[in-house]
Structure 1
Amino acid sequence: MDRRHFIKSGAAGLALGALGSRTAQAEGINDANISSSASTSVIPAGRPGGIPIPGGAFRPVPGKKLDGGPGYNDPRNRFGGAMRVGRDISPLYTYENIPSESEVEFKTFHIDVVLTEHELVDGVKMHALAFNGQVPGPEIRVQEGDWVKVVFTNKTGLMHTIHWHGLFSPYEMDGVPYTTQPPLMPGQKFVYKFRAAPYGTHFYHCHFSTPLHQAQGMHGAFIVESKDDPVRKQFPYARDYTMVLEAFALDYARQGFNAMLERMKEKMRLMKLHKLSKETLAVFRNYGDLKKHIKAGYIPPYSQNRNQGGSVLPNWNFFGINGKSYPATSPLLIKPGEWIRIRLINGGFLEHYMHLHGHDFYQVANDGALLPAPIRGNTIAVKPGKTADIVVYGNNPGVWTFHDHDTTRVTNNGVYPGGMLTTLEYEDFVGGYAPLTAIDE
Structure 2
Amino acid sequence: MLGLLFLFLFQPLAHSYVPLDRIIAVVNEDVIMQSELEAKMRAVSGQIRQQGGNVPPASIFERQILDTLVQNRIQLQLAERAGIRVDDETLNRTIGNIAAENQVSLSQFREILEQDGYSYEQFREDIRNEITLSQLRKRQVENRIVVTEKEIDNFLVNQEFQGTFQTEIRLSHILLSLPDAATEDEIAQVKQVATQIREDLLAGADFAEVAATVSDGGNASNGGDLGWRKTEDIPSLFADYIPEMKNGDISEPIQSPSGFHIIKISDMKSDTENIVDQTHARHILIKPDELVTSEQAKAKLEQLKLRIENGDDFALLAKGNSQDPVSAIDGGNLGWRSPGELVPEFQRMMDSLEPNQVSEPFRTAFGWHILEVLERRKFDNTESVKRGKARMAIRNRKLKEAMQNWTRRLRDEAYVEYRLDDI
TM-score using structure 2 length: 0.20
In proportion to residue count, which structure has more strand? 1
In proportion to residue count, which structure has more helix? 2
| Larger radius of gyration between Structure 1 and Structure 2 | 2
TM-score using structure 1 length: 0.20
